[in-house]
Structure 1
Amino acid sequence: MPEQAQRTKTALVTGASSGIGFELCKELSARGFRVFGAARRLEPMESLREYGVTPLKADVSDLDSVLELKKKVIELTDGKLDLLYNNAGQSCTVPALDVSDEWALQCLQVNVLGPIRMTREFAPLLIAAQGIVVFTGSLAGICPFPWGSVYGASKAAIHQYASVLHLELEPLGVKVLNVVTGGVDTNIADTRDLPKDSVYASPEMLEAFELRKKMAEKNKPMSPATYSKKVVNDILSSRDPVHVYRGKMATFMGIVMYLVPTRVIEYAFRIKFKLNPAFDALREKYSKRKVD
C-alpha cells in the first residue's frame, strides 16, 4: 500500500476558539483528519479535545508566535500539513472617517498579514504534503456594507491574495481555496460605539449604526456547523475553484454584485440599513454649515 494512503491527514485551523473555526475543527476531525486548533487563548478550545483535536496557542498577528506554532506542528507531525485553514479574523465596524490607525492596524494585522505570514511559514509543510490552503473570505470584500470599509478592504485583499496564490502554487501541487462567506452565526460582530466626535453622530445615525452591527444576527444566519460541513465538502472535492460562496445569501449576493450597477446596490443598502433618514439629517446639517 502506498505511503500516502497510510498517512492520517493533518489540518491546522486558526481562530479555533469559537464559531466557524471551532466547528471546522470538529468537522475535520470527524472526516478523519488529525486536527490542530490554534487561537490566542487555550481555555475556549479545551472542549475540542473530546473530538480528538489538539489545541495550540498562537497569535497570527505576531511573527514569533507563528514561528513557535510552526515548530510545534513540525514536532507533532511528519513534517507534512495537508490543510492550512486561515480562519482567524478581526471585525472593524466603524465609519471610514473614524477608523484610527490603531483600529485599522489591528484589523489588517489579523485579517491580512496574519494569513500571509501563516501561509508563507507553513508553505514547506503544505508543499511536502501537496495539500491545500484555505481562507475565510467575506461578502464584505465585494459588497459596500456601510461602516465596513477597513474590514471589507482586508477581505478584498485576501480575495486577491488567494487568487494570485492559486496561480503561483499550482506547479507545487498545492491547492488554494477562498471561501467568500455570507451570514454565519458567530460572535465576530463589533461592539464598539459610534465615536462621539464623529461627523455621523446623530440620533438618526445611531439607529442605523446599531442596525448594521446586528446585520448577521437579524438575517437568520447559517449555523457554523452547517457552514463547516459545506466547506469541508469543498475542501475534499476534486474540483479546484479559487472562490466558493458559502453562508447565508453568499451565492445570491455574489451574483448581484456581478450583475447589478453600483448605484442600484447603494440605493438598496440605504433602504435596508435605514440610512436615508440619517443621510437626510447629515445633508441638512452640513448644507447649513456651508451657508453659515
Structure 2
Amino acid sequence: MSTSDIKTALVTGASSGIGYAVVRELVKNGFRVYACARRVDLLEQLSKEYEPHRVIPYPLDISNFEEIVLLKEYLSTHLPRQRLDILYNNAGQSCTMPAVDVTNERLNQLFQVNVIGHMNITSQLCKFLINSKGTIVFTGSLSGVSVFPFGAVYAASKAAIHQYARVLHAEMKMFDVRVINAITGGVSTDIADTKPLPENSPFYFPEGIEALENRKFMAARNFPMSAETYAEKVVKDIVSPKDPVDIYRGSLATLISWIMMFAPYWLVEWVVFKKFKLDKVEKALRKRSETTKEK
C-alpha cells in the first residue's frame, strides 16, 4: 500500500486517557494519525513505537482559534489528496463544582475547550472530511443527558455538543459524511476535577464538602471501563458502515440513558439525592436555617 492510500485520522486531546487510547486503536486498524494536544511529549514517545509517520504529534490548544487555522494550513500541505478520513473531537476539561461557584473565567475556558473549540475545528477541517466522505466523532457524556450534582456547567457543555453533533449529522449527511456522538459513561481516565470548594460557597459546611468530595470520585467507584476497551468499541463503530448518530459506550452508559428516557424526573431526582448524599446536605441546611431563625 502506498503512503497516499493509507487512511488518515486526526485526534484532539490525544496525550492521555481516551484520546491516547483511540490513537493506538486507530493505528492498530491501519490509520495514520495526527495526534493533537497541548503537550506532545507523551505523543512523541508513542510515535517512536511505530514506523515513521504513522503517529504524527502536533501541538494544539483547541481553545485558540489561530492555532486551529494554522492546523488547517498545515494539513492543506501535508494531507494526501486533501483527504481526512476521521476527525475525532475528544479534547475536554472537567468541572466538578456547584453551579453557583463556577467563576466567569473558568466558565469561559470550559466552553472554549469543550464546545467552541470542537465547533471551530470541525468547520475549519470539514472540506477534508467531505473530500474523503469521512467520519466526525465527538466525545459526549452521560452528564449531558443525566443529572449529576455539582456538574451543571460540564453537563451543559456536553449537552451543547450532543445537540451540535445531531444537527451536524443532518447537514453533513448529504455530503456522505457521517457524524457520531459517543455518549460516554464511566471510563478510567485522569480527567477528574480535584479543585477544592471555595470558602465563600453556600455549600461550604461539612455536609456540603463531603457531598462534593463523594461526587468527585463517583466514576472511580463504579467500575469504569478501561480507556483501551472503550477505544476498541468506538473505533469499531467508526469503521462500521452503520450510521447511528448517538452511540452509548463506557460503563452504565446505556442503562442510565434508558432510565433518563423513561423514568419520571421526580424519581430520578430522589435517587440522585440519596446517591450523592444531597439529602444530608439539605437536612443540614434546613437545620442551620431554623437555628438562625431562633436566634
Offset, 1:287 = 4.4
Per the alignment, residue 64 of structure 1 pairs with 66
Tell me the distance in 2 between the aligned counterparts of 1:289 and 1:157. Answer: 41
Alignment correspondent of 2:125: 122
Partner residue of 1:17 out of 15, 27, 31: 15
Shift of 1:205: 1.4
Are the aligned partners of 1:9 and 1:34 in contact in 2 as well (CA < 8 Å)? yes
Instruction: Provide the residue aligned with 1:28 in structure 2.
Output: 26
- CA drift at 1:44: 2.1
In the alignment, structure 1 residue 137 sits paired with structure 2 residue 135: no
Q: Deviations over 1:194-235 (max 9, x none)?
A: 111100111111111111001111111000000000000110
State the shift of 1:74 in Å. 2.5
Q: Distance in 2 between matches of 1:196 and 1:209?
A: 13
Cα 1:289–1:33 shift into 2, 3 Å:
same
CA distance in 2, matches of 1:284, 1:67: 55
Alignment match, 2:194: 191
Q: Offset of 1:289 from its aligned partner?
A: 4.4
Which of 156, 161, 167 in structure 1 is aligned with 2:164? 161
Separation in structure 1 between the aligned mates of residue 45 and residue 251 of structure 2, nearest angstrom: 27
Structure 2 residue identity aligned to 1:85: Y
Q: CA deviation at 1:92?
A: 1.0
Q: Deviations over 1:98-136 (max 9, x none)?
A: 111011111100000011001000001111111010000
How far the C-alpha of 1:76 sits from its partner, in A, is 2.1
Q: What is the TM-score normalised by the length of structure 2?
A: 0.95
In the TM superposition, residue 291 of structure 1 has moved relative to its aligned partner by 6.5
**Contact in 2 for aligned 1:57/1:69 (Cα 8 Å):** no
Aligned to 2:173: 170
Aligned-partner SS, 2:68 = helix
1:25-70 Cα deviation digits (max 9, x unpaired)? 0000110011110000111212220143111000110001111122
Residue type at the aligned position of 1:71:
E
Q: In the alignment, is residue 7 of structure 1 matched against residue 9 of structure 2?
A: no
Identity among equivalent pairs (%): 49
Which of 112, 116, 119 is 1:113 aligned to? 116
What CA distance in whole angstroms lies between the structure 2 residues aligned with 1:30 and 1:287? Answer: 62
Q: 1:241-265 CA distances to partner (integer Å, 9 max, x unpaired)?
A: 1100000000000100001111111
Question: How many Å apart are 1:278 and its aligned residue?
Answer: 1.5
Q: Does 1:281 align with 2:292?
A: no
Q: Could you say what secondary structure the match of 2:193 adopts?
A: coil
2:35 corresponds to: 37
Superposition pairs of residues 256-267 of structure 1, within 5 angstroms: 256-267=259-270
